[in-house]
Amino acid sequence: MTAIVEEILAGEQRATGAADLMLQTAEWAAAAYARFDRARVLKIARAAAEVAYAHAGELAEAAVKETGFGVVAHKKIKNELTSRALFELYAHEDFCSARIRAEVKMVELPRPAGIVFALTPSTNPVCSVYYKVLMALVTRNAIILSPHPLARGCSVKAAQLMAEAAEGAGAPLGIIQVIEQPNLPLIEHVMKSPRVGVILATGGTPMVRSAYSSGNPAIGVGPGNAPALVDDSADLNHAAKRIIESKSFDNSILCTNESVVLAVESIADRLLQALKSAGAHVAKPEEVAALRELLFGRGTFNVEVLGKSAVEIGARIGLKLPPNTRVILAEIDRIGIDEPLSKEKLCPVLGFLRVPHAQGGITQARALIRLSGAGHSAAIHSQHAPTILAYGAAVKALRVVVNAPCSQGAAGYGTHLAPAFTIGTGYFGSSSVGENVGPQHLVNWTRIAYNEDPAEAFGDFSVLDAWAGGPALALGREAPMSLGRLQEGADSVQDPMPLPTSSAGTIDEIAILREEIRRMVLEELRGALRS
Amino acid sequence: MSDPKPQSPEKREFIAKSKTYWNPGKTQAWQDMGVDLVIDRREGYLLWDMDGRRLIDLHLNGGTYNIGHRHPELIEVLNRGTQRFDMGNHHFPSQARTALAERLARICGGDMHYTMYASGGAEAIDIALKTARHATQRRKIVSIVNAYHGHTGLAVAAGADRFKKIFLSDNPEEFVHVPFNDLNAMEDALKGKDAACLIMETIPATYGFPMPLPGYLQEVKKLCERYGSLYVADEVQTGLMRCGEMWGYQRYGITPDLVVTGKGISGGMYPIACVIVREPYAGWLTQDGFAHMSTMGGAELGCLVAMKTLEILERPTVKPMVNYISETFRNGLHEIMRLYPDFFVGIRQCGVVMGLEFDFPEGAKPVMKHLYENGVWAIFSTLDPRVLQFKPGVLMTADLCAEVLERVERSVGLAYAECLGRGGRGKIRAA
Ligand SMILES: Cc1ncc(COP(=O)(O)O)c(C=O)c1O
């Protein structure tokens, strides 16, 4: 093809047209999948989770190679946790079957969103794909993913592996799709599509705002900026270890990482010592100035240091740090717009501020979150319940992690919070969800509610199947072929009628049997045709 | 008869004019069948009659509107194309013509290297038949009884009597017809080793889509090979994903020697039709490249539209989509068959190429009429009026399919009551 012809063919509608076809296919897939029973759904989700688990290491490596962010070993852990472990967790809940609540004369039917449109970030690319796909699968939704362009390769690969596995396990075709060449206008086009059921946005604030203004239901979350208050009742060695473990995890790329340690004056020096022995380098005042310039010299956070190791960052300001340095501690004297280092830092540079007492720490924590991170996360290291409670009540964070690494703890690892990579920042953070986002957010329930008058008897729903009846389900696998009945020669070859949806779990077997019968009949006929 | 919809004075006047200046016989025939359609606005799979009535298009003019009416990407490419090109000069090498030919060669694969261009399906059929005659140096053309290949000289001679005798255009010496699905008759026609080719619609459309029996097309292809005749696949209605693959013949496991595509390849936007031929049979293109030509054949704007049409059809989502649409119709129509088992008796289907069988003389006509009155336009088969041609587009949405099924259920009920309803109109079965 000559350049001129190619240029004419490359219209503006090429990308949006292709995306519309993806949406149409997803709509078909979602319609069938919404009638699958739980056993079938779990089989499909398990298959997707298993293939994800099997590629956890390989894709962790691919992600770091592609983006330059984070630590392979840590990404592998995240990938493992968001595949097999997450599936096991979700499999305990039932998002597919009717709930019969005789005591309130109600039947509740799960109704999936339909199409989930999910944006995934460059910072946690593979585990975000895993997590969002599994949430969609266990709730009987179709999902279309739009990966961050910086992490396109590994994200597309992850999505394709899971799609193949899900379809191999019986999912309707097109249940998981991925936009391979995402760009802003295209994403906005899909976001606005009336076919989208819900948008799961992560990424930068503009993207989240755009999701919310699309006119479609959206779950978007804001950025974090977690304070970590350490008071005089805390076990300082434990606190230091946990803070370092958290701040160095995947080079601090999770939005739940600690931003500034608020140390009560009476224990501040001892805490500093403990942090040092846990692997922190305490920056000298001139190094702090250099860090401030490196991280925020251009006004916004410098993505060149995003997810880089402490040693690499040290090298950038001319420091030759020992290779086992995990975090750089930058002591600051205030929180506020006039101290850029009190903003969110997705790299292992941790602010350190002395506060006169716990109450002062709470005030500074509020100030930190006022700056950014509303509705997100906070941590406290303390043995003193009243302080913990006062902190939780004062700080505008919707999860407060106690005596645990915040990166992991707020994301549901090592605490009993729900494991998640979409951390609802709630009304504080202009989000529709305030919890850690989970499958429950991708499904609504139809409530069949009886008259409460005891004279109206509640029906017996115990043996009924809500998803039975109606025509057989279209699964997108093969375009049917059949002879009619009036055509000559047709009497010898008759396709069995497609069976209506019964207990959906048995359909696979019936379809296979029907195919088998058809093949036998055809073979026989082929022989007869020539005689 | 249901109450006819009131016709506007404007429409009545227009129909009279159509009889005066255009085609009195055809115009009147539609009025007699209760279909007073004058298509005005159109978009996607929807048509609006000049009186403003909305119809879902399940006729698609034989698949011309396979990807919908006025597809926005086709409008865009046509607009962009006119900024630089026009039809072109058919004597010279052309960027657009070559690009489309290259694309078709890739899609068809094997040694199907060359594309020859026409401005319509029948003209393309003529080119294919001439090419076969040149390659074999034989004159005879074998085709199927009641075949339909269009109305130009060779194409019409290869088709049903109805359209050629009237114009004294039959030529029984050279054009032999055999019954569909009859291998013995086929062998008899070919075994004299004097047939240039067999031409075959993969599924005969105008005949009501009788389906090839299992193995039939493969055996036919073998017979062609045995007796030295070429196999010409008329894919005008069965190609372009309508059977679930790019070409209908792929579903039957054969590779033809020549493929004819028309209708849908134009996107319904700019007339074009193509013949793709295997390299060994394209000799005339080298021997005398000027031997066949057509000013408007392969017009460059048409080539651009065709390329965009193919680009859309090749998107990976289209195949599952066709599967979903055709499965959904099969499953939904089977539910309707259960309601009227002695009337709506069968479905002939290969993907979205479908024929619905009504076990009643000319049974598809009342169904067509009631569908029309209920907002769906689908046409009966001229050559087997028990069969309704049911031709959904390959990009139909789930919602539109659901709407069609609901309207079909209602209309079949009304047609049933009209044909078989004991006790007259009142006894329409509840759906
Ligand atoms: C199978 C088949 N072949 C050929 C033709 C002729 O095409 P055209 O009308 O463009 O000449 C048609 C048209 O209906 C057709 O259905």
pLDDT above 70 coverage of chain A, percent = 92
pLDDT at A521: 66
pLDDT band at A8 (very low <50, low <70, confident <90, very high): very high
Count, in order, helices (H) and strands (E) of chain B. Answer: 15, 15
Q: Considering only CA atoms, which of A75, A83, A45 is closest in space to residue A58?
A: A75
Q: Considering only CA atoms, which of A12, A51, A16 is closest in space to residue A176?
A: A51
Higher model confidence: residue A507 or residue A330? Answer: A330
Mean pLDDT of B162-181: 94
DSSP string across A153-204 = HHHHHHHHHHHHHHHHTTPPTTSEEE-SS--HHHHHHHHH-TT--EEEE-SS
Mean pLDDT of B332-360: 96
Query: Is the CB of residue B321 less than 8 Å from the CB of residue A28?
Result: yes
Task: Domain count for chain B, please give it.
Answer: 2
The answer to whether residue B72 neighbours chain A at the CB level (below 8 Å) is yes
pLDDT at A175: 98
Is B83 contained in some domain?
yes
Output the CA–CA distances (angstroms, integers) from residue B118 to A58, A298, B15, B128, B133, in the order listed: 53, 62, 32, 10, 18
pLDDT band at B430 (very low <50, low <70, confident <90, very high): very low
Mean pLDDT of A281-305: 96
pLDDT band at A163 (very low <50, low <70, confident <90, very high): very high
Chain B residue with Cα closest to A523 = B214
The answer to whether residue A3 neighbours chain B at the CB level (below 8 Å) is no
Interface test with chain B among A486, A499, A524, by most B beta carbons within 10 Å: A486
Does the pLDDT of residue A220 top 90, yes or no? no
Does the pLDDT of residue A11 top 70, yes or no? yes
Instruction: Compute, in angstroms, the gap from residue B193 CA to the centroid of ligand 1.
Output: 28
Residues B386 and B407 in one domain: yes
Residues B148 and B56 in one domain: no
Query: Is the CB of residue A227 less than 8 Å from the CB of residue A364?
Result: yes
Closest-CA residue, ligand 1 atom 3, reads: B149
Range from A292-301, A326-335, A423-432, B4-13 carrying the lowest mean pLDDT: B4-13
Nearest to B317 among A174, A471, A484 (CB): A174
In whole angstroms, how large is the CA radius of gyration of chain B?
A: 22
pLDDT band at A525 (very low <50, low <70, confident <90, very high): low
CATH code at position B16: 3.90.1150.10
CATH code at position B162: 3.40.640.10
pLDDT at B338: 94
Instruction: Compute, in angstroms, the gap from residue B200 CA to the centroid of ligand 1.
Output: 12
pLDDT at B277: 98
Residues B322 and B359 in one domain: yes
pLDDT at A206: 81
C-alpha to C-alpha distance for B395 and B315, rounded to whole angstroms? 11
Residues B293 and B328 in one domain: no
Residues B207 and B335 in one domain: no
Does the pLDDT of residue A524 top 90, yes or no? no
Token output for B261: 């595509």
C-alpha to C-alpha distance for A306 and A125, rounded to whole angstroms? 14
pLDDT at B428: 39
Q: Does A9 sit within 8 Å of B84, measured CB to CB?
A: no
Range from B4-18, B91-105, B400-414 carrying the lowest mean pLDDT: B4-18
Is B4 contained in some domain?
no
Which ipTM score applies to this complex?
0.92
pLDDT at A504: 43
Chain B residue with Cα closest to A524 = B214
Is B430 contained in some domain?
no
Q: What does pLDDT average to over chain A? A: 92
Range from B165-174, B208-217, B417-426 carrying the lowest mean pLDDT: B417-426
Alpha carbon B260 to its chain's center:
11
pLDDT per residue over A425-457, tens digit each? Answer: 999 998 999 999 999 999 999 999 999 999 999
pLDDT at A526: 57
Q: Which residues of B touch A482 (CB under 8 A)?
A: 211, 330, 347-349
Q: Which residues of B touch A470 (CB under 8 A)?
A: 335
Residues B303 and B322 in one domain: no
pLDDT band at A470 (very low <50, low <70, confident <90, very high): confident
pLDDT above 70 coverage of chain B, percent = 97
Output the CA–CA distances (angstroms, integers) from residue B299 to A51, B112, B237, B269, B303, in the order listed: 50, 21, 21, 12, 6
C-alpha to C-alpha distance for A27 and A22, rounded to whole angstroms? 9
In ligand 1, which atom is closest to the CA atom of B262?
10
Is B329 contained in some domain?
yes
C-alpha to C-alpha distance for A277 and A329, rounded to whole angstroms? 12
pLDDT band at B425 (very low <50, low <70, confident <90, very high): very low
Domain-terminating residue out of B271, B293, B313: B313
C-alpha to C-alpha distance for A157 and A58, rounded to whole angstroms? 11
Mean pLDDT of A382-398: 98
Q: Which of A96, A154, A255, A406 is catalytic?
A: A255
pLDDT per residue over B123-150, tens digit each? Answer: 999 999 999 999 999 999 999 999 999 9
pLDDT at A490: 72
pLDDT band at A467 (very low <50, low <70, confident <90, very high): confident
Token output for B112: 């199907």
pLDDT at B398: 96
Q: Print the domain residue range for B15.
A: 9-63+317-421
pLDDT band at B426 (very low <50, low <70, confident <90, very high): very low
Residues B249 and B299 in one domain: yes
Query: Is the CB of residue A381 less than 8 Å from the CB of residue A395?
Result: no
Query: Is the CB of residue A335 less than 8 Å from the CB of residue A343?
Result: no
Alpha carbon A186 to its chain's center:
21
pLDDT band at A522 (very low <50, low <70, confident <90, very high): low
Q: Does B210 sit within 8 Å of A24, measured CB to CB?
A: no
Does the pLDDT of residue A495 top 80, yes or no? no
Does the pLDDT of residue B329 top 70, yes or no? yes
Range from A218-227, A242-251, A286-295, A336-345 carrying the lowest mean pLDDT: A218-227
Nearest to A13 among B72, B102, B395 (CB): B72
Is B21 contained in some domain?
yes
Residues B283 and B175 in one domain: yes
Nearest to A483 among B76, B84, B348 (CB): B348
Domain-terminating residue out of B280, B297, B313: B313
Residues B105 and B196 in one domain: yes
Token output for B257: 């020697």
C-alpha to C-alpha distance for B107 and A470, rounded to whole angstroms? 39
pLDDT at B427: 40
Residues B373 and B403 in one domain: yes
Q: Considering only CA atoms, which of B257, B344, B320 is closest in space to residue A478?
A: B320
Note if A255 is an active site residue.
yes
Q: What does pLDDT average to over chain B? A: 94
Mean pLDDT of A506-529: 60
Residues B181 and B261 in one domain: yes
Domain-terminating residue out of B272, B296, B313: B313
C-alpha to C-alpha distance for A455 and A460, rounded to whole angstroms? 15
Is B99 contained in some domain?
yes
C-alpha to C-alpha distance for A487 and B348, rounded to whole angstroms? 9
Is B416 contained in some domain?
yes
A279 phi/psi in degrees, rounded to 5? 120, 15
Task: Tell me the HSE value of B156 on the side-chain side, using a 13 A CA sphere.
Answer: 12
Per-position b or e across B228-248, b if 16+ CB within 10 A of its CB: ebbbbbbbbbbbbbbbbbbbb
pTM metric for this prediction: 0.92
Q: Given CA atoms B214, B217, B218, B222 in this order, what sign does their dihedral have?
A: positive
Mean pLDDT of A468-475: 89
Quote the Cα angle for A243-A244-A246, to 5°.
65
B301 phi/psi in degrees, rounded to 5? -65, -35
Does the pLDDT of residue A502 top 80, yes or no? no
pLDDT at A406: 97
Q: Considering only CA atoms, which of A193, A103, A79, A186 is closest in space to residue A142?
A: A193
Residues B306 and B335 in one domain: no
Q: Does B348 sit within 8 Å of A526, measured CB to CB?
A: no
Per-position b or e across A108-132, b if 16+ CB within 10 A of its CB: bebebbbbbbbbbbbbbbbbbbbbb
Is B2 contained in some domain?
no
Q: What is the DSSP letter of B44?
A: B
